[in-house]
Amino acid sequence: MKILVVVASKHQTTAEIGDAIVEELRAAGHQARRVAPADVRSLAGIDAVVLGSAVYMTQWMEPMRALVADRAEELRRLPVWVFSCGLAGLASGQVQDPARASGLIRQLDPVAVTTFKGRLDAATLGLRERAVTRMGGAAEGDYREWDTIRAWARGIAAHLGERLAEAG
């Protein structure tokens, strides 16, 4: 199956998660590629979509919000998986919930939705971002759980493999 993994990422943390998902999908025999939301010109010929966005101030990035708004009807016709990459290292030890993205996500009726922990490297942040992370008590570090990410991607591959077997 042809799978488009669309990722909105500012500091490459979420893009790297998208790359790991693509690797797992390819390992399962699917054709998969990662693109940025602005690079999606058409979903013709695509069998499934994975949407992933970094979360800033409890929202998906604007390019992903725009893509979903512009292509919601097309996306609803395809199996869609959704992931968010939340601010890691919050004082509570939990990832940031993309609460304001939930309306967009629900309108797509995705097969599955998850939030992965991210990475915080203050050296890559702008002044405002550093201030926000400091006020939020976020600790620097790479909190991504690669085994969890890869297992989620393998679940997508298995689901699509079952669909292919049923159709064949």
Q: What is the pLDDT of residues 72-95, one digit of tens each?
A: 999 999 999 999 997 654 444 444
Mean residue pLDDT across the chain? 86
What does the pLDDT average to over 54-79? 91
pTM of the prediction? 0.87
The mean pLDDT value for 89-116 works out to 68
Among 62, 14, 8, 10, smallest CA distance to 37 is for 8
> Can you tell me the distance from the alpha carbon of 168 to that of 26, in angstroms, rounded to the nearest whole number?
20
Q: Phi-psi bin for 58: left (phi > 0), alpha (psi -120 to 50), beta?
A: left
Spell out the SS3 assignment of 44-56: CCCCEEEEEEEEE
Could you tell me the pLDDT band of residue 43, with boundaries at 50, 70 and 90?
A: very high
Q: What pLDDT, in 10s, does the model give residues 118-136?
A: 887 766 766 776 666 666 6
Position 14 pLDDT exceeds 50: yes
- What six digits make up the tokens of 14? 């979420």
Is residue 58 over pLDDT 70? yes
What six digits make up the tokens of 124?
Answer: 């890559």
Give the pLDDT band (50/70/90) at residue 100.
low
Residue position matching structure tokens 């399962």: 28
Give the CA-trace dihedral at 76, 3, 83, 7, to 10 degrees. Answer: -100
The domains found in the chain, sorted by start residue, are 2-167 (3.40.50.360)
Phi-psi region of 12 (alpha: psi -120 to 50; beta: other; left: phi over 0): left
Which pLDDT belongs to residue 96? Answer: 46
The sign of the dihedral angle between the CA atoms of 69, 73, 74, 78 is: positive
Stronger pLDDT, 138 or 110, i.e. the higher one: 110
Q: What is the pLDDT of residue 75?
A: 96
DSSP for 67-89, please give it: HHHHHHHHHHTS-EEEEEEEPP-
